[in-house]
Amino acid sequence: MSMLAEAPLKNATPTDQELIDFVVREARLIDQQRFDEWLDLYANDAFYWMPLEWNQTDPRLTCSLMYEDKLLLSIRVERLKGARTFSQKPKSRCHHVLQTPQVDSRDPTANSYVTWTPMHYIETRMDEQTLFAAWATHHLSVENGRLKIKLKRVDLINCDAAFGNIQLFM
């Protein structure tokens, strides 16, 4: 259970292994549909960003698939629970396969840590199963002895393709 519990960091500065465990845990919380716990991993000023364009740099004046602050993320989580959320009757399920996250940068002075994680993500609903390939970039920082997500960026390999509904979180 140790990996599942959100353990406080052992020291003020997270180790690479702690960063890796955090990223893996985040994916697991989504797969297990523990969305309230999942939301707790995000800082209050966090963003979840899924670009629409390859190598997109601007989330403001270029459209994205998702660019959501914590309010919008919490609305999504609430919506998934709704009695009249017809597109979730029956519910979607999802599954992540991650490569081992790589620590791209660590800057304790700036309280900023960045990991990079290639992954496959599968979402299913009824008889449909859809596979997505993506790279997740996590920008993390330490708040009150715990890691928090400041920005999660999910770059789909086919970000500009025409998709049907993508309902959960990658």
Partner 1 sequence: MTRYAGNVAAIRALVRDQEVHRDVYVSEEVFQLEMEHMFPNSWVYVGHDSQVPNPGDYFGTTIGTQPVLLVRHTDGTVKVLHNRCPHKGTRITSETCGNAGKFFRCPYHAWSFRTDGSLLAIPLKKGYENTGFEQSHAASGMAPVRHVRNYRGFVFAKINDGGLDFEEFFGESLSSFDNMIDRSPVGQLKVAGGVLRYMHNCNWKMLVENQTDTCHPMVAHESSAGTVVEVWKKAPPGTKKPMAVEIIAPFMSPYEFFENMGIRIWDNGHGHTGVHHSIHSDYSAVPGYFEKMTAAYGEDRAKAILGENRHNTVYFPNIMIKGPIQLLRHFKPIAANKTLVESWTFQLVDAPDMLLERTLMYNRLINAPTSIVGHDDLEMYERAQEGLHSNGNEWVNLQRLYSPDEAGQTNVAVNGTSEWPMRHQFRAWTKFMTMGM
How far is the C-alpha of 10 from the C-alpha of 83, rounded, in Å? 41
Closer residue to partner 1, CB minimum distance, 85 or 105: 85
Q: How far is the CB of 83 from partner 1 (least distance, A)?
A: 9
Element (H, E) at 39: helix 35-40
Contact status: 67 vs partner 1 (CB under 8 A): yes
Closer residue to partner 1, CB minimum distance, 28 or 76: 76
Indicate which single residue of 15, 40, 45, 82 sits in contact with partner 1 (rule: CB under 8 A).
Answer: 82
How far is the C-alpha of 140 from the C-alpha of 97, rounded, in Å? 21
- Phi then psi for 101, rounded to 5 degrees? -60, 140
Q: What is the DSSP letter of 74?
A: H
Contact status: 10 vs partner 1 (CB under 8 A): no
Supply 85's token pair: 């959320």
Contact status: 93 vs partner 1 (CB under 8 A): no
149 closest CA partner among 158, 140, 157: 140
Q: How far is the CB of 92 from partner 1 (least distance, A)?
A: 10
Binding-site size, partner 1 (CB under 8 A): 33
Residues forming contacts to partner 1 in the complex (CB under 8 A) are: 50, 52-53, 60-67, 69, 71-72, 74-76, 78-79, 82, 84-88, 160-167
